């Protein structure tokens, strides 16, 4: 017997309607390429999203067509999120930091019909325009006064494109399984793969994000997403924040600028900021140097890579800011686990609480987790056993766009293999010890590169650290620590290695240290281990 409840589809347009009605006067502050401080309200942004929907309706598009964006975090990008997905098209966000070949591959694979582009990325597209012949037109995200000269064909100005349209639009009643957005993985192995989100998965993920032990979003929050709208929907922030009615502060092109981020946090009273560890390094370096304190910030959600203990400690002890580590991936919309203190653990010592906070978090309701051994057998959550981490749930991809089962990413019993190796403790806290492909295999045992990196980051002279496996005649591989020194600080190889004593097993201590000026980063700000391994491919470890 079925229940007798309404079968209302979960649609992104319903967030727009809710937000405009209940939180229409809440502010959105943006740094953009054409305005250092643009202010509008949620209500205005939704009206403009409807103008955009009307304009799109004249382009001869059909449901499911892909419309791309290459843009920073600002109000116009947010309008596109709603205008495009709400109308039944697929909003394909593209990472501008990808290489030209990857951009060409992605745009052609997605069969993008139009591209919304920030003026500063126009030259990027000009350079590859003849390799993306199927794109019918480009809409530059600015007004007529700031339109760049360009050789691109069929170019429109965003403000003119939407300007004459009505702000009345009846959102179509779509099936909730309709595709809404597309994001390609970074393609660290092989070609990038497209993850195709739908309305239902997006809404469920946003609902889950609101929970107190996840992001804990309320209408009283002021949220600064330093996670890009061009990657995994900025962790779902455009949806969850509009559900909650919080104020949004968009950093535009200032994402990696510690001083600018501090300025925004201070002037706009930001209570919650989200980003990968690298951007917070820039912020903390700035506050340290300038003698500033993050007085207004309440919590910071940090994920996308392991969060060093020293960073959590600096946020907590210098700024009284709670760091919530999160774990997830593009294929998971992305949130799968978040680290908050579970009932019964509040009384741990400050040091033990720091140890706890270095873990990737507990799985949230809606994302099932399991760890399995090489034979696919489920492992105990005993805080010791480590294995391949697999997930299942309504906001996890069931396949990749146009790959139909050929990626080998799912198990026969329907779980997604994350490619991460993890340990889960009896309380359910998970520690990511490595990517399957980054794990260091030494003498038949595994060494966690992440744990070594976190340890190294605890040394005051270390600004950034990465550990890779280097070929070794006896042990197969041994860890090499690659370090970027903090400004005005020095540390010798011997001091660095001595720092590991007593902190990790003796045989885990890196076999050597290399000092470099900078580490290669991926487009999302993570250390690019593939590139680092290439750089150190012929590295000779000392005997
Ligand atoms: P890409 O790195 O290709 O852009 P994602 O953004 O989807 O792809 O990154 C997902 C990966 O990032 C995860 O599979 C995991 O390896 C890593 N990651 C994310 N959060 C954490 C975390 N808290 N601790 C350790 N690794 C993490």
Ligand 1 binding pocket includes 435 (Cβ within 6 Å): yes
User: Could you identify the atom of ligand 1 that is nearest to the CA of residue 337?
Assistant: 23
Q: How far is the CA of 49 from the centre of ligand 1 (A)?
A: 31
Distance CA 454, CA 283 (A): 19
Instruction: Flag whether 489 is in a domain.
Output: yes
Instruction: Flag whether 218 is in a domain.
Output: no
Among 180, 175, 173, smallest CA distance to 198 is for 180
Can you spell out the DSSP letters for 99-150? -HHHHHHHHHHHT-SEEEE-GGGHHHHHTTGGG-TT--EEEESS-GGGPPP-
Ligand 1 binding pocket includes 432 (Cβ within 6 Å): yes
Q: Whose CA is nearest to atom 25 of ligand 1?
A: 306
What's residue 510's pLDDT? 96
Instruction: Flag whether 470 is in a domain.
Output: yes
Q: Whose CA is nearest to atom 5 of ligand 1?
A: 329
For residue 537, what is the domain's CATH number?
A: 3.30.300.30
Instruction: Flag whether 194 is in a domain.
Output: yes
Last residue of a domain, one of 198, 232, 250: 198
What's residue 528's pLDDT? 87
Beta bridge partners of 338: 326, 362
Ligand 1 binding pocket includes 102 (Cβ within 6 Å): no
Among 215, 409, 194, smallest CA distance to 302 is for 215
Helices (H), 256-362: 258-268, 277-290, 309-319, 350-357
Instruction: Flag whether 227 is in a domain.
Output: no
Residues identified as active-site: 185, 331, 441, 446
Instruction: Flag whether 522 is in a domain.
Output: yes
Q: Whose CA is nearest to atom 19 of ligand 1?
A: 304
Best probe residue, ligand 1, of 228, 312, 328 (max atoms within 8 Å of C-beta): 328
Instruction: Flag whether 422 is in a domain.
Output: no
Ligand 1 binding pocket includes 325 (Cβ within 6 Å): yes
Last residue of a domain, one of 198, 225, 243: 198
Last residue of a domain, one of 137, 166, 198: 198
Instruction: Flag whether 385 is in a domain.
Output: no
Ligand 1 binding pocket includes 387 (Cβ within 6 Å): no
Ligand 1 binding pocket includes 87 (Cβ within 6 Å): no
- Segments forming the whole domain that contains residue 475: 438-543
Q: Yes or no: say if 389 and 369 are a contact pair by the CB < 8 Å rule.
A: yes
Taking the chain (543 residues) in consecutive chunks of 10 residues, what is each chunk's mean pLDDT?
97 98 98 97 98 98 98 98 98 93 96 98 97 98 98 98 98 98 80 95 98 98 97 97 98 95 98 94 94 97 93 97 98 98 96 97 98 94 95 98 90 95 97 88 86 92 94 90 94 96 92 96 81 92 84
Q: How many domains does the chain have?
A: 2
Q: How far is the CA of 4 from the centre of ligand 1 (A)?
A: 41
For residue 145, what is the domain's CATH number?
A: 3.40.50.12780
What's residue 178's pLDDT? 98
Going by their DSSP bridges, the two strands 386-392 and 322-328 should be labelled as unpaired
Q: Which whole-number Å values give the CA distances from 348 to 80, 357, 406, in the listed order? A: 45, 12, 47
- CA dihedral over 481, 487, 488, 489, signed as positive or negative: negative
Q: Yes or no: say if 280 and 311 are a contact pair by the CB < 8 Å rule.
A: yes
Ligand 1 binding pocket includes 304 (Cβ within 6 Å): yes
What's residue 187's pLDDT? 61
Q: Model confidence over 314-367: pLDDT tens digits?
A: 999 999 999 999 999 999 999 999 999 999 999 999 999 999 999 999 999 999
């Amino acid at each position: 017997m079925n229940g007798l409840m309404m079968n209302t589809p979960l649609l992104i347009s319903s967030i727009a309607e809710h937000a405009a009605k209940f939180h229409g006067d809440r502010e959105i502050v943006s740094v953009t390429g054409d305005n250092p401080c643009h202010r509008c309200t949620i209500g205005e942004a939704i009206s403009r999203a409807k103008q955009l929907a009307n304009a799109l309706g004249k382009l001869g598009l059909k449901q499911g067509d892909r419309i791309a964006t290459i843009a920073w975090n600002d109000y116009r990008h947010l309008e596109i999120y709603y205008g495009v997905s709400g109308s039944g098209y697929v909003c394909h966000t593209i990472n501008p930091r990808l290489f030209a070949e990857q951009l060409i591959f992605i745009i052609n694979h997605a069969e993008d019909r139009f591209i919304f582009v920030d003026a500063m990325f126009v030259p990027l597209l000009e350079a590859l325009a003849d390799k993306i012949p199927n794109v019918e037109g480009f809409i530059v995200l600015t007004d007529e006064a700031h339109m760049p000269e360009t050789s691109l064909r069929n170019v429109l100005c965003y403000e003119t494109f939407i300007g004459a349209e009505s702000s009345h639009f009846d959102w179509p009643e779509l099936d909730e399984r309709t595709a809404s957005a597309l994001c390609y993985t970074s393609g660290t192995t092989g070609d990038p793969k497209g993850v195709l989100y739908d309305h239902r998965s997006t809404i469920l993920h946003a609902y889950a994000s609101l929970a107190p032990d996840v992001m804990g979003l309320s209408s009283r929050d002021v949220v600064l997403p330093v996670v890009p709208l061009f990657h995994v929907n900025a962790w779902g922030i455009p949806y969850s924040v509009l559900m909650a009615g919080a104020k949004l502060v968009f950093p535009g092109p200032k994402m990696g600028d510690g001083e600018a981020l501090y300025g925004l946090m201070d002037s706009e009273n930001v209570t919650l900021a989200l980003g990968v560890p690298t951007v917070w390094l820039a912020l903390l370096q700035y506050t340290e140097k300038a003698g500033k304190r993050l007085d207004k910030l309440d919590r910071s959600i940090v994920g996308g890579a392991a969060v060093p203990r020293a960073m959590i400690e600096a946020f907590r002890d210098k700024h009284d800011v709670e760091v919530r580590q999160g774990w997830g991936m593009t294929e998971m919309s992305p949130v799968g686990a978040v680290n908050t203190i579970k009932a019964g653990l509040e009384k741990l010592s400050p040091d033990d609480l720091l140890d706890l906070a270095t873990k990737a978090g507990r799985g949230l309701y809606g994302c099932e987790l399991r760890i399995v051994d090489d034979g696919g057998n489920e492992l105990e959550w005993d805080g010791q056993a480590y294995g391949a981490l697999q997930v299942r749930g309504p906001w996890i991809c069931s396949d990749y766009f146009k790959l139909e089962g050929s990626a080998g990413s799912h198990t026969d019993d329907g779980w997604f293999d994350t490619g991460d190796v993890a340990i889960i403790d009896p309380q359910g806290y998970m520690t990511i010890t490595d990517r399957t492909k980054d794990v260091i295999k030494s003498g038949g045992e595994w060494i966690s590169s992440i744990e070594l990196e976190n340890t190294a980051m605890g040394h005051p002279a270390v600004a950034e650290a990465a550990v890779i496996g280097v070929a070794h005649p006896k042990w197969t591989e041994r860890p090499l620590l690659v370090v970027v020194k903090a400004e005005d600080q020095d540390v010798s190889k011997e001091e660095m290695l001595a720092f590991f004593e007593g902190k990790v097993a003796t045989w885990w201590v890196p076999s050597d240290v290399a000092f470099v000026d900078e580490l290669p980063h991926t487009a999302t700000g993570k250390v690019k281990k593939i590139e680092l391994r290439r750089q150190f491919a012929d590295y000779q470890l000392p005997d």
